[in-house]
Amino acid sequence: MPFDPLIVVAVVGLAVISLVAIAGATSDDIPGAPDYFFTRQLVYFLVGALVALVFWRIDYSRLREIKVLCYGLLIASILLVTAFGSVARGSRRAIDLPFFSFQASELGKVLLIVSLSAFAVEMTRRSADRRVTARLLLLGLAPAALVMLQPDLGSALVYVAITLTILLIVGVPWQHFAAFGALTAVAVALSLLVLPAVGVNVLHDYQKERLTSFLHPSDVTGTEGYQQNQSRIAIGSGEKTGRGEQATQTRYDFLPEHHTDFIFAVVGERWGFAGAALVLSLYALLIWRGLRILTLAKNLYGALVAGGIVAMFLFQVFVNTGMTVGIMPITGIPLPLMSYGGSSLIASMIAVGLLQSIYAQGRKAASGKGRVLTIQ
């Protein structure tokens, strides 16, 4: 089975940096258990690697056959979490299993990619049809709307990004995008300005504060402003080569969530611009390979899945790092493959496995035709 070694390089590189960063940043978090987060993240990585191996070995195309099941699972898991999940910081996002708190919206990202791509492939004959676009949009936005209720704005935005990218790749006309854009603008205006004025609040206050606090970073009084300011200080104080063991911002708890949402700030503080740039480069490598695999896919389904995965990674990386450097709002989006957390990590590893599968299938198909691909 062929595989893309550069993706392996990127993933292993990110995994190693993630583990070292988490080990350093969390050593004081739980008294008496300095390795708590490190050990768990290591296990998640190993499990994730196994999962990725499994997905690499199977033919991703067979997932098309279970698209309804996948989609159903996506919706059901979100509903289940919304109804019975454990509450963490005011929102229900996870189901507590023994040893593991399962965050359904993370796996949902992959489920959405797999199922929505399958639906899109089926409808491609009429891809210029408005109704097709509308139906695909509806399929993508329904889970987004549902996770909004948890409330999990970040995942909802990722779902939207995935949906739009799949629509882009599948060839939806630009006019449809324009129309959708206009509708979105109206909806945002309604939800942020008009409806609150008449007493209906679509977004929670904290969500609004999160979305707007990065616009006035000097106001560091609120929790959100505080986090973002401390994150900016952490990253900035890393300067060119980082503060190494002197990285007090993250170690001394000035920056909350340093092992999850703000892991990039830990990297920025400990290893400076060099470290942060390395991490970004590894993501860029991953994205580039994803786009490359998109073009190598043996079928449209593979291309759409690869496109969705690229969108998922790209959007999360940009929003998360953008948040830590203070140019994007705080939305609770983890940094894929780096933030501490099993659900996100395993979902990301499934995506990596799928990319490898698409690569492998594409290569096999090409060699099966007797063509030698010289390009990677």
Partner 1 sequence: MMEAGDSSLLRPSGGPPVAPQMARRVAILGAIALALFAVIFLRLWFLQVLTGDQSRREALDNRVRSLPLAAPRGSILDRNGTPIVENRVATVLTLDPKQLPAKTRADANAWGQEMTAWLKEPRRTRGTAPPVPPPATPQVAQRYRRLAGVLGISAAAVNERVVRQLAQLPYANVAVKVDVPSSVRNYLLERQGEFPGVSVDQAYIRRYPGGVGAAQVVGAVGEISPDQVGSDEFRGVLSGGTVGQEGMERSYDRYLRGTDGTRSVTVDANGRLKGQRVSREPRPGNSLRTTIDAGLQKQGEAALASAISGAGTAGAFVALDPRDGKILAIGSAPTFDPAERARPIATQAEYERRFGEAAGAPLFNRAIGGSYPTGSIFKPITALAALEAGLITPDTPINDPGFLKVGEQTFTNAGRQANGTVSLRRALQVSSDVFFYSLGRDANPLEGQVIQTWARRLGLDRPTGIDLPGEAPGTIPDRAWRATQNRREIAWEKRTGKRCPPDCLYSDKRPWSVGDNIQLSVGQGDVQASPLQMAVAYSALANGGAVVKPHLGAAVESVTGRQIEAIKAPPSRKVKIDPTARQAILDGLHLSTVEDGTSADVFRDWDQDRFKLYGKTGTAERPPRPDQSWYAAFVNDPARPIVIVATVEDGGFGAESAAPVACSMLSRWYRQSASCSPGGSRTR
Interacting residue ranges for partner 1, rule: CB under 8 A: 28, 121, 124-125, 127, 165, 168-169, 171, 230, 232-240, 243, 248-249, 252-254, 256, 268-269, 272-273, 276-277, 280, 283-284, 287-288, 291, 294-296, 298-300, 303, 307, 310-311, 314, 317-318, 321-322, 325-327, 365-366, 368-369
Q: Which is nearer to partner 1, 112 or 203 (CB)?
A: 112
Q: Which is nearer to partner 1, 145 or 168 (CB)?
A: 168
Q: How far is the CB of 95 from partner 1 (least distance, A)?
A: 31
Query: 72: which residues sit within 8 A by CB, 6+ positions away?
Result: none
Look at the alpha carbons of 59, 60, 66, 72 in this order and tell me if their dihedral is positive or negative: positive
Beta-bridge partner residues of 22? none
Nearest to partner 1 of 151, 336 (CB atom): 336
Q: Which is nearer to partner 1, 203 or 335 (CB)?
A: 335
How near is the Cβ of 41 to partner 1 at its closest, in Å?
23
Q: Smaller CB distance to partner 1: residue 73 or 310?
A: 310
Q: How far is the CB of 283 from partner 1 (least distance, A)?
A: 8
Q: CA-CA distance, 310 to 293, in Å (whole number)?
A: 10
Of the candidates 374, 362, 364, 358, the residue with the CA atom closest to the CA atom of residue 117: 358
- Per the CB < 8 A criterion, the answer to whether 70 and 76 are in contact is no
Taking the C-alpha atoms of residue 39 and residue 46, their distance in angstroms, rounded to an integer, is 11
Among residues 91 and 321, whose Cβ is nearest to partner 1? 321
Nearer to partner 1, 108 or 238 (CB): 238
Q: How far apart are CA 353 and CA 181, in angstroms?
A: 33
Query: Closest approach of Cβ 238 to partner 1, in Å?
Result: 6
Query: CA dihedral defined by 49, 52, 54, 55, rounded to 10 degrees?
Result: 180
Ranges of beta strands (E only) in the chain are: 86-88, 91-97, 100-103
| Residue 19 CB, nearest approach to partner 1 (Å) | 22
Q: For residue 7, what are the CA distances in angstroms to 17, 158, 285? A: 15, 22, 7
Angle between helical axes of 130-148 and 174-189 (0-180°, round to 10) = 30
Rounded to the nearest whole angstrom, what is the least distance from the CB of residue 229 to partner 1 in the complex?
Answer: 9
Q: How far is the CB of 272 from partner 1 (least distance, A)?
A: 6
